[in-house]
């Protein structure tokens, strides 16, 4: 595609000296925190089965999120009602229902009616939507060509044994969408496979996963484990924003995965889901960076943990996890075994629907990381386990416990993993912490001598009041919520302290206390 005036252009990309298909390039210098591309609505987004029950299928407003106050950007009292025809999709307003109807639902609603009781995977529903809309002339030729240019990875799926499942799903997709006469079965299987290997996660502005999304343009962004951009969503709107300063003609990269994971784990995930060996600037340096640091040398592992590791090695005698490989010596194999165990437990707690049970597994996994003394606070899966511990503690109402974990994360993890002040994850985690502090203040909780939770909340909201405009965009629902909260909190504190100087001095006195709480 030729250079255009949109701030980006698409052309052939070379990563680590080798061709990587097409990529996205910046057509001008961009400052960190600026918006590069804004898409009002992606080509297709499809909600998880669980989220179909509580999320608008047009504007993706999630009405039931769990974390305290983190969804203030959703208007109070928002609910969703079911489509009377298909009884599957729900909408938050007549306007949303009408928009979805005209976008294509009118061509699939009656076909979905007979299978109203059947759970259909999000990729099947998404693929149906694409086929139905194309059949009825609701996807233009240029978008269709861009979409069809994306690799379907059919041969990779044949090699990994998953093609049979894809054919089966594609059969259902054809049948339920009544498009058999327009698209043959191989085409539908390829389209289904294309969705599996190119879709991104549909998310709330605070990065709660809702489903999958595919946009013919944004799906041409290549991956880097050290990305210079990220995508932030605001309902159906997707924005590509700069994480770093970018020079004209530089390639734009997002991260398809969590880039804070160790090298081999990143490689394994990218290989499994996207079928490529990552040659990004970080991966070209192998396991030598912060993500692969241990707090002690493998040989310094305490005897008690050598024993735990040896039991693990014996248990998995035939199949040591290649994504956890550290080295061939016995000391390194022990460390690798503990790492594999910690990741297995992380995956197990993520599958848990009971928060109390999830907390039990997480605490055991964190104990391995901390008591073995191997893990620095920023090495995965320790930060990911802590994130989940916070969510689950909030779910069972252990707000004080959640607070202390947030304080540790704030002190030891966020500055290391998300160094940019406007890093969207840093902003969202700070916002969640501020909302928790506000809640604890309203409950009169005393968490440390001299600690004033209302002032701590104010400090955090103040910090992100400017940076959230960079992370999410000044007009985003999220930045507007932060701004509104900031005005409320500032108004209250000014009333209490009489002047801005007195208020700021009081807030400053809390900084040290907050750091102490996160020790």
Ligand X SMILES: C[S@@+](CC[C@H](N)C(=O)[O-])C[C@H]1O[C@@H](n2cnc3c(N)ncnc32)[C@H](O)[C@@H]1O
Upstream peptide bond of 461 is cis (omega within 30 degrees of 0): no
Residues 318-347 that bind ligand X (CB under 6 A): none
Residue 194 in the binding site for ligand X (CB under 6 A): no
Number of residues in contact with ligand X under rule CB under 6 A: 20
Residue closer to ligand X, measured from CB, 67 or 222: 222
Residue 152 in the binding site for ligand X (CB under 6 A): no
How far is Cα of residue 85 from the mean position of the Cα atoms in its chain?
A: 32
CA distance 2 to 463: 41
Among 56, 132, 150, 453, binds ligand X (CB under 6 A): 150
Residue closer to ligand X, measured from CB, 13 or 63: 13
Residue 127 in the binding site for ligand X (CB under 6 A): no
Closest approach, Cβ 321 to ligand X, in A, equals: 23
Which range, of 21-29, 75-83, 177-185, 204-212, touches ligand X by CB under 6 A? 21-29
Residue 223 in the binding site for ligand X (CB under 6 A): yes
Do 162 and 171 contact (CB within 8 A), yes or no? no
Do 88 and 109 contact (CB within 8 A), yes or no? no
Residue 265 in the binding site for ligand X (CB under 6 A): no
Which range, of 30-38, 74-82, 278-286, 367-375, touches ligand X by CB under 6 A? 278-286
Closest approach, Cβ 156 to ligand X, in A, equals: 9
Residues 203-222 that bind ligand X (CB under 6 A): 219-220, 222
Coil, strand or helix at 18: strand
Q: Single out the residue of 344, 403, 400 nearest to residue 369, CA to CA.
A: 344
Closest approach, Cβ 379 to ligand X, in A, equals: 22
Token pair listed for 449: 């001598």
Among 20, 38, 257, 506, binds ligand X (CB under 6 A): 20
Residue 224 in the binding site for ligand X (CB under 6 A): yes
Residue closer to ligand X, measured from CB, 169 or 219: 219
Coil, strand or helix at 285: helix
Closest approach, Cβ 271 to ligand X, in A, equals: 10
Name the burial class of residue 186, with classes exposed (0-12), middle (13-18) and buried (19+) by CB atoms within 10 angstroms of its CB: exposed
Q: How far is CA 283 from CA 48, 182, 245, 295, in A?
A: 32, 43, 21, 21
Do 85 and 56 contact (CB within 8 A), yes or no? no
Do 375 and 369 contact (CB within 8 A), yes or no? yes
CA distance 429 to 427: 6
Closest approach, Cβ 124 to ligand X, in A, equals: 20
How far is Cα of residue 503 from the mean position of the Cα atoms in its chain?
A: 36
Residue closer to ligand X, measured from CB, 16 or 474: 16
- Max Cα-Cα span within the chain: 73
Residue 399 in the binding site for ligand X (CB under 6 A): no
Closest approach, Cβ 145 to ligand X, in A, equals: 12
Q: Which residues bind ligand X (CB under 6 A)?
A: 13, 15, 20-23, 150-151, 198, 219-220, 222-224, 274-276, 278-280
């Amino acid at each position: 595609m030729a250079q255009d005036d949109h701030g980006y252009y698409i052309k052939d990309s070379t990563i680590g000296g080798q061709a990587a298909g097409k990529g996205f390039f910046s057509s001008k210098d961009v400052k960190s925190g600026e918006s590069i591309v804004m898409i009002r609505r992606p080509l297709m987004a499809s909600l998880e089965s669980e989220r179909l029950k509580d999320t608008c299928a047009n504007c993706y407003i999630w009405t039931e999120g769990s974390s305290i106050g983190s969804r203030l950007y959703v208007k109070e009292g928002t609910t969703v009602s079911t489509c009377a025809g298909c009884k599957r999709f729900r909408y938050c307003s007549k306007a949303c229902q009408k928009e979805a109807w005209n976008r294509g639902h009118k061509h699939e609603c009656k076909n979905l009616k007979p299978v109203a009781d059947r759970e259909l995977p999000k990729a099947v529903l998404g693929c149906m939507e694409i086929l139905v809309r194309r059949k009825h002339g609701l996807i233009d030729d240029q978008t269709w060509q861009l979409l069809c240019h994306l690799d379907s990875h059919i041969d990779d799926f044949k090699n990994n044994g998953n093609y049979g499942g894809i054919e089966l799903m594609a059969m259902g997709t054809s049948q339920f969408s009544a498009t058999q006469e327009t698209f043959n079965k191989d085409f539908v299987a390829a389209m289904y496979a294309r969705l599996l290997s190119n879709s991104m996660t549909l998310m709330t502005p605070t990065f709660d996963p809702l489903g999958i999304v595919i946009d013919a343009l944004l799906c041409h962004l290549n991956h880097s484990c050290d990305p210079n951009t990220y995508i932030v969503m605001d309902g159906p709107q997707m924005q590509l924003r700069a994480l770093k300063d970018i020079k004209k003609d530089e390639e734009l990269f997002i991260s398809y995965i969590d880039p804070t994971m160790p090298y081999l784990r990143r490689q394994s995930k990218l290989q499994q889901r996207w079928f490529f060996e990552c040659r990004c600037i970080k991966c070209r340096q192998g396991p030598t960076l912060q993500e692969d640091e241990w707090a002690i040398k493998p040989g310094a592992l305490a005897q008690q943990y050598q024993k735990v590791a040896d039991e693990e090695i014996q248990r998995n005698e035939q199949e040591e996890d290649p994504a956890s490989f550290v080295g061939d010596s016995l000391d390194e194999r022990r460390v690798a075994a503990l790492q594999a165990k910690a990741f297995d437990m992380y995956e197990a707690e993520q599958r848990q629907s009971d928060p109390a049970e999830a907390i039990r597994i997480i605490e055991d996994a964190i104990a391995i990381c901390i008591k073995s003394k191997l893990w620095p606070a920023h090495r995965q899966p320790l930060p990911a386990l802590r994130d989940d511990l916070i969510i689950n503690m909030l779910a069972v109402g252990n707000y004080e416990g959640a607070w202390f974990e947030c304080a540790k994360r704030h002190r030891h993890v966020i500055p290391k993993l998300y160094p940019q002040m406007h890093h969207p994850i840093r902003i969202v985690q700070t916002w969640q912490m501020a909302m928790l502090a506000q809640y604890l203040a309203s409950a009169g909780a005393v968490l440390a001598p001299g600690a004033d939770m209302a002032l701590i909340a104010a400090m955090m909201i103040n910090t992100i009041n400017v940076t959230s405009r960079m992370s999410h965009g000044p007009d985003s629902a999220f930045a507007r919520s932060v701004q509104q909260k900031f005005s409320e909190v500032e108004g209250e504190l000014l009333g209490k302290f009489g002047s801005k100087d007195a208020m700021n001095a009081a807030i400053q006195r809390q900084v040290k206390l907050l750091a102490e709480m996160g020790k």
